[in-house]
């Protein structure tokens, strides 16, 4: 896959994320996607990813801005850096109680791509920064 095609795939995935279109997000993924979650677990498969999307949507409403996408030569890997603008909707284990707090975080994702699909997606952000933002009321 070319660097241009990889960039277009990542742009399509992130646009679907911002639109809350889980089906369009899932369409960008390989059936055996390896997903390194926010919580530090690795989950395998599109169905596990669907469940992760539902868990996140239950607790958070988020939109990504200030997106910068970088692709490696050959288009096999990519990264995206962005600002997460979110609202904490429902209390999540290990986090402060939800009271509709708004937050902004710098975050990123790393991608591996094969045959036109995302085969690995690793989410990266500071959990301590999120906890601090949610503790401010």
User: What pLDDT does residue 137 have?
Assistant: 63
Domains defined along the chain, listed by start: 3-81+106-125 (3.10.450.50)
The model's pTM is 0.93
Provide φ and ψ at 127, rounded to 5°. -65, -35
Q: How buried is 89 (Cβ within 10 angstroms: 0-12 exposed, 13-18 middle, 19+ buried)? A: middle
Nearest 5°: the CA angle 32, 64, 39 is 50
3-state secondary structure of 96: coil
Token couple for 8: 């277009």
| pLDDT per residue as tens, the chain (137 positions) | 899 999 999 999 999 999 999 999 999 999 999 999 887 889 999 999 999 999 999 999 999 999 999 999 999 999 999 999 999 999 999 899 999 999 999 999 999 999 999 999 999 998 899 999 999 86
């Amino acid at each position: 896959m070319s660097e241009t095609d990889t960039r277009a795939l990542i742009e399509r995935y992130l646009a679907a994320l911002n639109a809350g279109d889980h089906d369009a997000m899932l369409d960008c993924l390989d059936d055996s996607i390896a997903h390194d979650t926010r919580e530090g677990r690795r989950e395998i498969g599109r169905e596990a990813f669907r469940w992760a999307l539902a868990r996140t949507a239950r607790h958070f409403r988020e939109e990504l801005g200030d997106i910068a996408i970088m692709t490696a030569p050959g288009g096999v890997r990519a990264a995206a850096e962005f600002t997460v603008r979110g609202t904490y909707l429902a209390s999540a284990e290990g986090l402060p109680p939800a009271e509709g707090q708004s937050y902004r975080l710098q975050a990123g994702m790393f991608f591996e791509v094969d045959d036109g699909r995302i085969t690995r997606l690793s989410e990266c952000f500071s959990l301590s920064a999120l906890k601090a933002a949610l503790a401010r009321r």
